[in-house]
Amino acid sequence: MSLLVAQDLHKSFGKTHALEGAGLTIRAGEIVAVMGPSGSGKSTLLHCIAGILPPDSGVVRYGDRELTSMSDRERSELRRTDFGFVFQFGQLVPELTCLENVALPLRLSGMKRRAAERAARDWMAKLEVDGVADQRPGETSGGQGQRVAIARALVTEPKVVFADEPTGALDSLNGERVMHLLTSAARETGAAVVLVTHEARVAAYSDREVVVRDGKARDVEFVR
Amino acid sequence: MAIGHALLGLLEGGPRHGYDLKRAYDERFGQHRPLAYGQVYSTLSRLLKNGLVAEAGVEAGDGPERRRYAITDAGVTDVERWLGTPEKPEPYLQNTLYSKVVLALLSGRSATDVLDVQRSAHLGTMRELTRRKADGDLADQLICDFALFHLEADLRWLELTAARLDKLAAEVGK
């Protein structure tokens, strides 16, 4: 079943055309790698379909709702309840402990602290970072920080996780561990993952790939 | 891989008979291509002739007698020399993919399609290897990683070529 559908997206930054008619379909529970050379528009595509960036034209549908016609507030709410995000750097709040970071999305949704931290601890254990619960992000290694960020992205059990070069700052061994844990956890919860990467070994964790070239996305056959 | 050297290396752990050697080889190196019995015995007979192994008695059993083989000093030296000699780096200059891209351009077909089909096939194999790694032990992971890094290198070439197709088309068309 199609969960997220983007059609004919256009997005420009000044005179630079980042997306020129890009389209994409994500089905529930699948892991899709969005690949393409630097500057091809793959991150812009991710930001548009995740409701972070409004496209200049085109439509993004999530289930039976149209993201592109929602207000900023509605989009923020949807991002908080249904989407999870993992980026390459700087996504954790440095002043909070790792546990507080992971619990944050639940706290923002109004969950009581004790319950939020209990759920956060469970996710940190799944991502094998329960040992750094009381440390601040600056005190952890790159690989640990990224796994804390994944725990935070998954703690709300989102329907879609958007991951933009999640292993970009990690060495091969840590990158592999992060990908293994991210994809296993997503499969366990049934979350779809949209994975932007330029690394083939990372893309190999996906079910299929979509290639973005010159602002256009090219769907490659469905595997599942 | 040089089977003779692999068998010699396995014999350094102590004398073995042919069947035992085949089993040890298959377990360590032959996951995809187990040794045929004929290959084991023809290799052992060559090693014997060259003085790299020697017969070390016969094991009696229910079935036929099983001859045991031991590595000789010359065999140990040979293994050492083999381990110390680098494998010749492949130059990879004869490349079917490159030929396909050029021929697509020469004949007015889509070279992008050639590259896309190949990328999809490469990624398909990489997915299988990645799944196998997830279920495998460390030896399995290392074998798969070797293949994955090589396939990834091919994919980087495919991407780079895709980015240079216009230029290549102009040169091919001269």
Parallel, antiparallel or unpaired: strands A57-62 and A2-13 = antiparallel
| Per-residue model confidence as pLDDT tens digits over B15-46 | 999 999 999 999 888 877 899 989 999 999 99
Number of H helices, E strands in chain B: 8, 3
pLDDT value of residue A222: 36
pLDDT value of residue B64: 65
The total number of structural domains in chain A stands at 1
pLDDT value of residue A224: 30
| Residue A224: inside a domain | no
Instruction: Say if A211 is an interface residue toward chain B (CB within 8 Å).
Output: yes
**Residue B120 is nearest to which of A204, A213, A220, comparing CB atoms?**
A220
Cβ contact, residue pair A180, B134, below 8 Å: yes
Task: Tell me the torsion sign for CA atoms A105, A179, A202, A62.
Answer: negative
- Tokens found for residue B79: 């293994």
Calculate what percentage of chain B has a pLDDT beyond 90.
72
Residue B155: its chain A contacts at CB < 8 A? Answer: 200
pLDDT band at B1; cut points 50, 70, 90: low
Do B67 and B58 touch, CB atoms closer than 8 A? yes
Cα gap A194→A51, rounded to integer Å = 13
Calculate what percentage of chain A has a pLDDT beyond 70.
96
What residue in B sits closest to A37 (Cα-Cα)?
Answer: B159
Do A19 and A55 touch, CB atoms closer than 8 A? yes
| Residue A59: inside a domain | yes
Q: Report phi then psi at B72, rounded to 5.
A: -95, 175
| Per-residue model confidence as pLDDT tens digits over B103-151 | 999 999 999 999 999 999 999 999 999 999 988 899 889 999 999 999 9
CATH code for the domain in which residue A168 is found: 3.40.50.300
| Residue A172: inside a domain | yes
* Average pLDDT in chain B: 91
pLDDT value of residue B90: 85
| Residue A63: inside a domain | yes
Cβ contact, residue pair B123, A204, below 8 Å: yes
What residue in B sits closest to A206 (Cα-Cα)?
Answer: B127
Instruction: Say if B147 is an interface residue toward chain A (CB within 8 Å).
Output: no
Q: Is ipTM beyond 0.95?
A: no
Parallel, antiparallel or unpaired: strands B16-17 and B66-71 = antiparallel
| Per-residue model confidence as pLDDT tens digits over A25-77 | 999 999 999 998 888 888 899 999 999 999 999 999 999 999 999 999 999 99
| Per-residue model confidence as pLDDT tens digits over A150-160 | 999 999 999 99
| Residue A100: inside a domain | yes
Nearest to A150 by CA among A111, A115, A189: A189
Cα gap B111→B121, rounded to integer Å = 16
pLDDT band at A148; cut points 50, 70, 90: very high
Domain membership of residue A173 as a residue range: 2-219
**Predicted TM-score (pTM) of this structure:** 0.85
Instruction: Say if A108 is an interface residue toward chain B (CB within 8 Å).
Output: no
Q: What is the DSSP string of A65-127?
A: EEGGGS-HHHHHHHHHHHEEEE-SS--S-TTS-HHHHHHHHHHHTT--HHHHHHHHHHHHHHT
